[in-house]
């Protein structure tokens, strides 16, 4: 392993400039291979669906990616913003909520 393997890329903190921040976060999440949870979300199966083991494994993997992506997002946003999105369950729901609220605004505060 090289030294570069231990360097954690910086997560861009949301400063109210949504368009710039979202571009940086998208690039970061794509580099981590988590962008799929933003673009597609996590589709939960109905309670009456019987999933094969392969589908259960794939769903668990997608849920884990969603959780990891949310962790990065939580590190990037201020507590006051976090409190407004606590009712959102998935990364996609949080991302879409922030996009709706802040996209096109020069400064959120």
How would you class 53 by CB atoms within 10 Å of its CB: exposed for 0-12, middle for 13-18, buried for 19 or more?
A: exposed
Do 78 and 14 meet the contact criterion of CB atoms below 8 Å apart?
yes
Supply the pLDDT for residue 52. Answer: 86
Nearby residues of 93 by Cβ (< 8 Å), 6 or more positions away:
41
d(CA 81, CA 105): 15
pTM: 0.77
Write down the pLDDT at residue 89. Answer: 86
Quick check: 8 pLDDT over 70? Answer: no
pLDDT digits (tens, 9 = 90+) for 38-77: 888 888 887 767 888 898 899 999 999 999 999 999 999 9
The yes-or-no verdict on residue 106 having pLDDT over 60 is: no
User: What is the rounded CA–CA span in Å between residue 63 and residue 57?
Assistant: 10
Q: Which residue has the tokens 């690039």?
A: 27
In this prediction, residue 41 carries a pLDDT of 87
* In the predicted structure, residue 84 carries a pLDDT above the cut 70: yes
The per-residue pLDDT for 108 is: 43
* Per-residue pLDDT at 86: 77
The dihedral over CA atoms of 59, 60, 62, 65, expressed in degrees to the nearest 10, equals 170
């Amino acid at each position: 392993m090289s030294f570069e393997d231990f360097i954690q890329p910086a997560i861009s903190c949301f400063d109210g400039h949504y368009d710039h921040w979202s571009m940086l976060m998208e690039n970061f999440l794509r580099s981590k291979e988590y962008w799929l949870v933003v673009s597609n979300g996590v589709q939960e199966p109905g309670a009456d669906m019987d999933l094969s083991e392969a589908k259960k494994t794939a769903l668990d993997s997608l849920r884990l990616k969603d959780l990891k992506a949310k962790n990065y997002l939580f590190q990037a946003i201020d507590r006051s913003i976090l409190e407004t999105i606590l009712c959102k369950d998935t990364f996609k729901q949080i991302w879409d909520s922030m996009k709706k609220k802040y996209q096109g605004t020069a400064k959120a505060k």
